[in-house]
Amino acid sequence: MKRLFSLIDIGWRFLATVISFTVFGLGGLALRCIAFPLMHWWFRDQTKETILARKLINRSFRLFTWLMAALGIYRVEIQGAHHLNRPGLLLLANHPTLIDIVFLISLTERANCIVKSSLLTNPFTRGPLRGANYIINNREGAALLEACIASIQCGDHLIIFPEGTRTRHGSHELELHRGSANIAVRAGHPITPVLIHCDQPFLTKGAPWWKIPPQRPNLRIEIGEDLDTTTITQECANEALAARFLNQYMKNYFEKEIIHAASGRSH
């Protein structure tokens, strides 16, 4: 009987996942074909259009994450959201699931992020990405760096996953790209760390979306206290050394927190 209930639960979560991603795709298409063309026609000012587009995406993602939780796909707990009640943040997060960016954008109207240029060819994502004026990674390194710094300085919450890709479930060793550390050092800006914990292999790298975990996943998103990058790198002789040192510091920081979360689950 217990196995029967387990199979029913997995079957329902599979169906709920299909429903959720269908809603997500149709919502993206509606934003592209209806909402953003109307905004572009109504607002001739790019700044006003971008602000409204980001608010609309924030509300849409908030609704989507609520829908997935309401359908029983996962449980989620948010900690430290009050740290987002200020402008100009550099948010660095680990990346265990496919929908991490959806969660984070749902928490702030000021969100900006670096997106793959290939997403501009996707009919479901092209409209929202252009409307929100997110940073596209098709620029040269220096130009991309300056765009990121300018985004923070104008009050955006710039979200970056330093790994550049999702972490495999159960892996405690991270490979961080140095780009986010370069941004923090060049901007002289603190880092606001975001730790995303998931106790099940849920929408992970290398696993298809239809592979449903045996139990309902529990997710916890923790927005931490700022890390003062100037203090962390004060003994470094130049910006290049500072970026390298800061990148290693963040690698150690995330790995320590991930191991701590995993050991807490095992007790």
- Measuring CA to CA, which residue among 111, 100, 122 is closest to residue 57? 111
Nearest 5°: CA angle at 161, between 182 and 208? 150
Q: What is the pLDDT of residues 42-78, one digit of tens each?
A: 777 778 888 888 999 999 999 999 999 999 999 999 9
Residues 178, 183, 188, 194: is their CA dihedral positive or negative?
Answer: negative
Mean pLDDT for the chain?
A: 90
pLDDT at 148 over 50: yes
Tell me how far the alpha carbon of residue 138 is from its chain's centroid: 19
Q: What pLDDT shows up at residue 267?
A: 43
Q: What is the pLDDT of residues 241-251, one digit of tens each?
A: 999 999 999 99
Report the predicted TM-score, pTM, of the whole model to 2 decimal places: 0.91
Q: What pLDDT shows up at residue 139?
A: 76
pLDDT range class, residue 264, cuts 50, 70, 90:
low
d(CA 64, CA 20): 7
pLDDT range class, residue 231, cuts 50, 70, 90:
very high
d(CA 237, CA 258): 31
pLDDT at 236 over 50: yes
pLDDT at 266 over 60: no
**Domain 2-266 grouped into CATH 1.25.40:** no
Q: What is the pLDDT of residues 79-95, one digit of tens each?
A: 999 999 999 999 999 99
Q: What is the pLDDT of residues 5-23, one digit of tens each?
A: 888 899 999 999 999 999 9
CA within 13 Å, CB half, 132: 31
- Measuring CA to CA, which residue among 34, 33, 31, 38 is closest to residue 56? 31
pLDDT range class, residue 120, cuts 50, 70, 90:
confident
Domain spans of the chain, in order of start: 2-266
Q: Give the count of beta carbons closer than 10 Å to the beta carbon of residue 47.
A: 10
pLDDT at 39 over 80: no
Say if CB 92 and CB 194 are below 8 A apart.
Answer: yes
Q: What pLDDT shows up at residue 265?
A: 55
Give percent of the chain with pLDDT exceeding 70.
98
Over range 190-218, report the average pLDDT.
Answer: 92
